[in-house]
Amino acid sequence: MRIVAGEVIVSSPGRNFVTLKLVTDDGVVGYGDGTVNGRERAVEGYLQHLIPLLIGRDATRIEDTWQYLYRGAYWRRGPITMASISAVDQALWDISGKALGVPVHRLLGGTSRDYLMTYPHCTGMTVDEVVDEAAAKLEEGYKAIRVQAAVPGLATTYGVHAHADDEETGAYEPASGALPDEEIWDTKLYLDFVPKLVKRVRDELGYGFELLHDSHHRLTPIEAGWLGKQLEPYRMFWLEDATPAEDQAAFRLIRQHTTTPLAVGEVFNSWFDYQTLITERLIDFVRTPVTHGGGITHLRQLMGVADFYGVRSGFHGPSDISPVGMAANCHLSWSIHNFGVQEYMGYPEQVSKVFTRFPVVENGVVVLDDTPGLGVEIDEDAAKRFPFDPKYLPVNRKTDGTLHDW
């Protein structure tokens, strides 16, 4: 079964998505997600370099193709390279599954569990709103929730919206074509507030569910250690992205100061971003999604090593990873032993006009789907009706104007 054609579909049904389509001489079509939020055209360009290398290759040789694109290239790693290799890898797993008539998780060893626990985002302008939103999600059956609220004294807080429903409609982004929003950040206001938010959620709703919070890389290691310590009484499932992620050594300091579990890596793309973190047991959860982590082939290998160190998965699942990438996350999550949780932020309604079939959440868990391949169907004509819509994530400045991490 040879690859005879490749095409990059960039469309924006509410969110921008980069989808690679590969076709075999048997007429089997495979899809892979390579979306990198705010840098979509870069992945598209990289994939244009890869497509000629794929034509004529045996589509069933997934591992060899991965090694060819990674080991065979002089320039390795990085978000654009690894998202592009991932898109190819997902498309090949999709093709093999479809050709054999089995879902990808069967190719990976079958399911290791009965359901995939997911977490949604619970946000609000006030703590009361967050508590209400969290109560509603628990009522729907969710076993884990992430809580974020507007920090009092800050005009805006990333990931928090005037209306909690906005997150599900994907309204994270500025208007089309706009320059990045500039948000103002004040660490002391944030640190004073978060323990109160988390305490209220536990006081009001109890301990019968998993509780998560995301710091979006904004703290210093010592601040992160302090926050983790404040949150210890509330038995967090994790504190996410406490510090700028690329500084692996920083986690040694955080770990010395807190037993709150740590999750990191939604901006990572390779085992080598985790080598210190995992082998020194500095983290508890891997956040890298299939889309950004070199595909199922690389992330599966990474999770295999992580398992030896007791580190579990919590793959990134925002609405800026396409339903194809979400499906790939789910197939890997079904199959690995060391699954932790799957983030499932949800999608704007228009997404289902283009992605007409993809994994869904019911009663807070991903529904097992035995559709062959990744199980995602795409209406390519509909995709053309939603052209690319350039958008940027916001940037973040301290109150004195200094550019800050996020």
Binding at 320: pick from Mg ion, ligand CS2, none (beta carbon under 5-8 Å per type):
ligand CS2
Whose Cβ is closer to ligand CS2: residue 265's or residue 373's? 265
What does DSSP say about strands 210-214 and 262-264: parallel, antiparallel, or unpaired? unpaired
Helix axes 40-54, 79-100, angle to 10 degrees: 50
Please choose which of Mg ion, ligand CS2, none residue 37 contacts, taking the beta carbon within 5 to 8 angstroms, the exact cut-off set by kind: ligand CS2
In the complex, least distance from residue 214 CB atom to Mg ion, rounded to whole angstroms: 4
CA distance 14 to 334: 28
Among residues 98 and 218, whose Cβ is nearest to ligand CS2?
218
Shortest Å distance, C-beta 357 to ligand CS2: 23
**CB nearest Mg ion: which residue?**
214
**Smallest gap from residue 245 Cβ to Mg ion (A):** 10
Q: Which is nearer to Mg ion, 210 or 214 (CB)?
A: 214
Binding partner at 173 among Mg ion, ligand CS2, none, C-beta below 5 to 8 Å by kind: none
Using CB under 5 A, which residues numbered 55 to 74 contact Mg ion?
Answer: none
Q: What are phi and psi of 159, to 5 degrees?
A: 85, 5
Interface map 205-244 toward Mg ion (x if CB under 5 A): ---------x------------------------------
Q: Which two tokens stand for residue 203?
A: 């006081």
Q: Shortest distance, CB of residue 39 to ligand CS2, whole angstroms?
A: 10
Select from 321, 300, 353, 330 the least CA-distant residue to 19.
Answer: 321
Residue 15, amino acid = R
If one asks whether residue 167 binds Mg ion (CB under 5 A), the answer comes out as: no
Q: Which residues bind ligand CS2 (CB under 6 A)?
A: 37, 159, 214, 216, 266, 316, 318, 320, 343, 345, 393
Q: Kindly state whether residue 369 participates in binding Mg ion, applying the rule CB under 5 A.
A: no
Closer by beta carbon to Mg ion, 40 or else 266: 266
Cβ at position 28, least distance to ligand CS2 in Å: 31
Q: Which residue, 37 or 333, is less far from ligand CS2 as judged by CB?
A: 37
- Ordered strands of the 116-119 beta sheet: 342-343, 116-119, 365-366, 361-362
Distance between the two ends of the chain, CA-based, in angstroms?
Answer: 45
Least distance between Mg ion and beta carbon 248 (Å): 17
Instruction: Enumerate the active-site residues.
Output: 158, 216
The interface partner of residue 94, options being ligand CS2, Mg ion, none and the CB cut-off 5 to 8 Å by kind, is none
Non-local CB neighbours of 388 within 8 Å, separated by 6+ positions: 10, 11, 12, 16, 40, 41
- Is 343 an interacting residue with respect to Mg ion (CB under 5 A)? no
Q: Which is nearer to ligand CS2, 40 or 223 (CB)?
A: 40
Restricting to residues 241-280, name those near Mg ion by CB under 5 A: 266
What CA–CA distance (Å, rounded) separates 256 from 10? 45
Give least dist CB 386 to ligand CS2, A. Answer: 19
How many Cβ atoms sit within 10 Å of the Cβ of residue 256? Answer: 11
Q: Between 317 and 375, name the residue whose CB sits nearer to ligand CS2.
A: 317
Among ligand CS2, Mg ion, none, what binds residue 129 when CB lies within 5 to 8 Å by partner kind?
none
33 sits near Mg ion (criterion: CB under 5 A): no
Report the interface residues with Mg ion, using CB under 5 A: 214, 266
